[in-house]
Structure 1
Amino acid sequence: MQIRFINYLDKINLYRKSKISNRNFLIVLAVIVGILAGVAAAILKSLTHNIEEFLQSDWHWKYKYYLYFIFPLIGIFLSVAYVKYFIRKSKFETGLTPLLYAISKKSSKVETHNIYSQVITSAITVGFGGSVGLESPIVTSGAAIGSSLGRFLGLSYKEITMLLACGAAAGIAGAFNSPIAGIVFAIEVLLPEFTIPAFIPLLLAAATSAVVARLFYTQQLFFLVTEGWKMDALFYYVILACVIGLFSIYFGKANYAIKAFFYKFKDPYTKVIIGGLALGALVFLFPTLYGEGYITIKKLLGGDYMAIINNSIFQDYNTIPAVVVLFTIVTIFMKSIATLVTLGAGGNGGMFAPSLIMGGLIGFIFAYTINLSGIAHLNVANFTVAGMAAALGAIMHAPLTGIFLIAEITGGYILMVPLMITTAISYGINRKSQKHSIYTKGLAEKGELMSYEDKDTTVLSQMKLRYLIEKTYPQLHLNDLISVKMNEIVQSHKNICAVTDELGDFKGIIYIEELFSEMINNPNKDTLTVSHLVREAPNTLLDKDDLKTVLRKMEQGNVWLLPVIDENNIYKGFVSKTSIFNKYRALLMRQNDNMV
């Protein structure tokens, strides 16, 4: 049945290729991906906000507020339980790192279940108070739509990758109603090298998704009222950028520390209990940490500077400026911890919203404090917006995404210069300390990141030695008679033989030229055994060696091929430079095709 379906699909593809070019067909598919991703974004936002509304407003019980301690725990528990019982055959991963890994190592294959599982788990996590964002899940969901559609239609790697990027761009566009930011994100994070033809599908997918999402969900994220920026405030924007750059470095280090803490616990429900209770306590003390946290930024942009402390147990002190300043600073650091605890405990969400919230709060408290001091009078809303862009650009290593996203969702295009300055400086400070973002560092350390700065290393990291081993070389045993094995050696057309004992333990090599010379000149050639001709190999390769190590060993010995053994010294075969270079060229061509 499956074979018949595949054959039928192949016939459809052949007919389609005769009627429409691949480029035009890709444009059609990009629109389809945009529609589906837009619907997914609308469903995710509506589902999340309905859960929040029910828990906070619709459900009435006089003891309800005591449950706010455990709401986050319930959300994380339900997410973990869903993954355990409903995603059994596939691995479930969160964040953008698996997406980058799929492009680098899995031929852009994103598991189909991500289309719905990301929506369900992130809505539950955030709706119950998990201090993360919805953007990374919807990006993964959109990418899964594009990847699944491309694989279903039997498209090539470059076409599937393009549809994956279209889905990711559409996810951002639908979640934020920001098509330009979606396109920039796809180009900056997923497709750092691209050509103009690749831009067209991204544009259509993002625009379509924004339209579709707006049909279902019309709520505006932020409103910014500003008269623009002033020249004498540029100095303070630079100072703000430096502060956020340093904070982004702290956030990166905190990310790895909290991940390492939760990694120690093997039982997922232990993580849920520890993380859920800790998060519940943080949300109780700092209400801004509940869910995405956008409502606080909305109020700050509207001039309600007490919003961050109101509804907390410290609200009676909201008339004391020093308390507001201190409470906000502590909230910023607690937001970083709450976000990382949510993810470490098993919740699903992303860093987009937390980055925006932390950056916005830093920008707010910076301008608010300067104004209180009397040093200068700064536009608090402008600095809040600039902080959001700077934090997103620095933490995610996506400065252009930060600039255009904030400009779109706030309508703050008039602040483009401050946005550019703060984002560029904060990104530069973070990049100086951390070459890779929090999403890419783990992949880079494992050699699994597709890098466009060092293509040689990237392509070599994609190659696995075990797939390059040639097993057609003659394998002789120490006690074998040369005369008996002569016919096998000649027919192999190889210039070298491997020598092992009866158990396969590697002993050395024999060069065919020396063997022929010995057979011609040695009067005792009929009794000549392999042990008389074996010699030590110039070097050996372990089957777990990476390709950079393989090439270095070959250069050290000035040889074209080397034997491969495992950790027990068992012979596996030979690897030649020819096979490495052929595979290298094939992968390089595939990588370049992806950008066409």
Structure 2
Amino acid sequence: MLIMVALALPIGALSAGAAWCLLRLIGLVTNLVFYQRWAVDLVAPGAQHHSWWLVLGAPIAGGLVIGVMARLGSEKIRGHGMPEAIEAILTQGSRVDPKVAVLKPISAAISIGTGGPFGAEGPIIMTGGALGSILAQYLHLTADERKILLVSGAGGGMAATFNSPLASILLAVELLLFEWRPRSTVPVTAAVAVATVARQFILGGGPVFPVSVHATQIPWNIDLLAFVTGVCGAAIAILATRLVYLSEDVFSRLPFHWMWWPAIGGAVIGVGGLIQPRALGVGYDVIGELLTGHATVSLIVGILIVKTAIWSLSLGSGTSGGVLAPLFMIGGALGAFVGQWFPAVFPGFWALLGLAAVVGAAMRAPLTGIVFTLELTHAWPALFPLIIASITAYGVSVLTLDRSILTEKIARRGLHLTCDYTTDPLEAFFVEEVMRPGPPRMPTGGTVGTRDTLRHAANVLAEAGGRPLLVVLPDGAECGHLVMDDLLPARLHDLNEDTLRTRHFAAFTRVRTAPSD
């Protein structure tokens, strides 16, 4: 464990640097495409008015570039980021191609910078994970050790992006590690800690979306309404998940190569951008307005409808981009929308609950949704309503959908994944507690004289549950064993009593000479 901690520490620093580079690269592409200037600050594509041809054409051009990169570079750059990381852990021994560490952030920056309504966290998870995997491969570590370093890089990238160390650890456990053990949790935590400290120097140390909390105690009736918010959050998460995979099904039926699909998804994004320009891009500014209660009703409705539609439909095209930031925006918009009819608590309160509910339902990570919301905003008095909303949404999602938005993609590739944490029975019992007793014994003199003896042998085998029948001679010596296949041919033949008396029973004449089983 200590050796893995020592290796995870530099991975945390490298993942923080990768997060910083990706965010700056997204800002550079956005400024070049939409504002025709050389700058690296994160800006929203829809913050100012642009020509219709730019809003429509930029996502299409970005999709074309991503398709070419995936075709000529690596197909692994396509997709959300987190499903690809999970698949690498489960099917590839946590091995990630070094090309992915370079191509994934570039493709994500192009996708988001040209207006794609995606998040940066999925590509950061894949990039940070690739850095950890590359180091582990270079050191010739085991598959389990590669997994630990891969997840260390992924968690470090998340922590550096959102300044959310605890949520990053929970996300690593709920979605990537599939275990809660010191050998993996301690190294991942070490990487997250280093990344969080590094973020303070490169991106700042305050909450990403600070809110003003005036209430210190929330009444019980608000907790009941949090349950309603959770149900609504589950409904929008289920709708978005089904739209994503409906879109994937439609694209898979197109009669041309998948390289062109991201450009078609870009056309969908462009049309949505003409309707609601602020639905384009990562949307951190819109999330901030929703969580602080400054969003107008028209913006709330526009984001709820347009963002959900263009994100879900374009993500199915196989472009490069994450799911977490869009879920933040959609969830915040949902909460702000239902909050129009609910009592006021403090600005952005219902948006907080909607955010946690949608994340908990869509990603099947309710604890991550709760803690993420708190660490993003520092709205600590909202803890209990957040728990109600997120767990309610999680429960409704589990009862309605077989899999989450992340694991559905993996299941479609033939890999069933369960996220249920249970004790492995093989680690909870001694062998002597579960082993079967010795095989049943069958005394014989080498021949069978009656049909009753034959029937008795078959019955003993049946009662033994298919286990071998130990053949014992009159002197007690073990001469071999029988299985049901030895008796079935004799039982199937309608042999009369005389025949049985005059011939040896075939099964006993070919008693197996292997040692007792």
Shorter-chain-normalised TM-score: which range? Answer: 0.7 to 0.9
Aligned length in residues? 416
> Following the alignment from structure 1 to structure 2, what is the Cα–Cα distance between the partners of residues 63 and 355?
26
Q: Does 1:28 align with 2:6?
A: yes
* One of 169, 174, 180 as aligned partner of 1:188: 174
Question: How far did residue 278 of structure 1 move?
Answer: 2.1
Q: Does 1:205 align with 2:191?
A: yes
CA contact (8 A) 2:248 2:317 kept: no
> Following the alignment from structure 1 to structure 2, what is the Cα–Cα distance between the partners of residues 386 and 404?
12
Question: How far did residue 453 of structure 1 move?
Answer: 4.3
* One of 346, 353, 368 as aligned partner of 1:401: 368
Q: Does 1:333 align with 2:311?
A: no
Question: Hey, what does 2:238 align to over in structure 1?
Answer: 249
Question: How far did residue 75 of structure 1 move?
Answer: 1.7
CA contact (8 A) 1:258 1:344 kept: yes
The one-letter code of the counterpart of 1:370 is: W
Question: Hey, what does 2:218 align to over in structure 1?
Answer: 230
> Following the alignment from structure 2 to structure 1, what is the Cα–Cα distance between the partners of residues 244 and 51?
32
Q: Secondary structure at the match of 2:348?
A: helix
Question: Hey, what does 1:496 align to over in structure 2?
Answer: none
> Following the alignment from structure 2 to structure 1, what is the Cα–Cα distance between the partners of residues 416 and 126?
18
> Following the alignment from structure 1 to structure 2, what is the Cα–Cα distance between the partners of residues 270 and 443?
22
* One of 292, 295, 299 as aligned partner of 2:282: 292
> Following the alignment from structure 1 to structure 2, what is the Cα–Cα distance between the partners of residues 452 and 397?
9
Taking a change above 3 Å as real, the CA distance of residues 227 and 197 of structure 1, as seen in their structure-2 partners, is farther
Taking a change above 3 Å as real, the CA distance of residues 65 and 420 of structure 1, as seen in their structure-2 partners, is same
> Following the alignment from structure 1 to structure 2, what is the Cα–Cα distance between the partners of residues 452 and 59?
46
Q: Deviations over 1:266-318 (max 9, x none)?
A: 32354244322221010111122111122112123344232xxxxxxxxxxxx
Question: How far did residue 101 of structure 1 move?
Answer: 1.7
> Following the alignment from structure 1 to structure 2, what is the Cα–Cα distance between the partners of residues 78 and 558?
64
The one-letter code of the counterpart of 1:244 is: G
Q: Deviations over 1:443-469 (max 9, x none)?
A: 346552453649999x9xxxxxxxxxx
CA contact (8 A) 2:245 2:316 kept: no
Question: Hey, what does 1:86 align to over in structure 2?
Answer: 73
Question: Hey, what does 2:437 align to over in structure 1?
Answer: none
The one-letter code of the counterpart of 1:414 is: P
Taking a change above 3 Å as real, the CA distance of residues 200 and 286 of structure 1, as seen in their structure-2 partners, is same
Q: Does 1:167 align with 2:139?
A: no
CA contact (8 A) 1:76 1:342 kept: no
Question: How far did residue 378 of structure 1 move?
Answer: 4.2
Question: Hey, what does 1:142 align to over in structure 2?
Answer: 128
> Following the alignment from structure 2 to structure 1, what is the Cα–Cα distance between the partners of residues 121 and 280?
16
CA contact (8 A) 1:363 1:385 kept: yes
> Following the alignment from structure 2 to structure 1, what is the Cα–Cα distance between the partners of residues 35 and 294?
22
> Following the alignment from structure 1 to structure 2, what is the Cα–Cα distance between the partners of residues 299 and 411?
15
Alignment of 1:76-475 (within 5 A): 76-87=63-74, 91-95=76-80, 96-218=82-204, 221-228=208-215, 230-231=218-219, 232-265=221-254, 266-268=256-258, 270-306=260-296, 324=297, 328-329=300-301, 331-367=303-339, 369-370=340-341, 376-444=343-411, 447-451=414-418, 453=420
CA contact (8 A) 1:389 1:403 kept: yes
Question: How far did residue 442 of structure 1 move?
Answer: 3.9
> Following the alignment from structure 1 to structure 2, what is the Cα–Cα distance between the partners of residues 125 and 63?
18
* Percent sequence identity over aligned pairs: 26
Taking a change above 3 Å as real, the CA distance of residues 251 and 78 of structure 1, as seen in their structure-2 partners, is same
Q: Secondary structure at the match of 1:258?
A: helix
Question: Gaps spanning 5+ residues in structure 1: where?
Answer: 1-22, 307-323, 460-551, 561-596
CA contact (8 A) 1:130 1:347 kept: no
Question: Hey, what does 1:3 align to over in structure 2?
Answer: none
Q: Secondary structure at the match of 2:294?
A: coil
Q: Does 1:43 align with 2:21?
A: yes
Question: How far did residue 205 of structure 1 move?
Answer: 0.3
Question: Gaps spanning 5+ residues in structure 2: where?
Answer: 39-47, 427-465, 467-482, 487-517
> Following the alignment from structure 2 to structure 1, what is the Cα–Cα distance between the partners of residues 400 and 49?
50
Taking a change above 3 Å as real, the CA distance of residues 156 and 250 of structure 1, as seen in their structure-2 partners, is same
CA contact (8 A) 1:258 1:341 kept: yes
> Following the alignment from structure 1 to structure 2, what is the Cα–Cα distance between the partners of residues 329 and 91?
35
> Following the alignment from structure 1 to structure 2, what is the Cα–Cα distance between the partners of residues 211 and 84?
38
> Following the alignment from structure 1 to structure 2, what is the Cα–Cα distance between the partners of residues 205 and 559?
58
The one-letter code of the counterpart of 1:424 is: I
Question: Hey, what does 1:582 align to over in structure 2?
Answer: none
Question: Hey, what does 1:53 align to over in structure 2?
Answer: 31
Q: Deviations over 1:130-179 (max 9, x none)?
A: 01111111001111111111111011111111111111111211111111
Question: Hey, what does 1:517 align to over in structure 2?
Answer: none
Question: How far did residue 348 of structure 1 move?
Answer: 0.6
Question: How far did residue 407 of structure 1 move?
Answer: 0.9
> Following the alignment from structure 2 to structure 1, what is the Cα–Cα distance between the partners of residues 50 and 227?
48
Question: Hey, what does 1:512 align to over in structure 2?
Answer: none
Taking a change above 3 Å as real, the CA distance of residues 451 and 105 of structure 1, as seen in their structure-2 partners, is same
Question: How far did residue 197 of structure 1 move?
Answer: 3.7
> Following the alignment from structure 1 to structure 2, what is the Cα–Cα distance between the partners of residues 408 and 419?
12
CA contact (8 A) 1:94 1:348 kept: yes
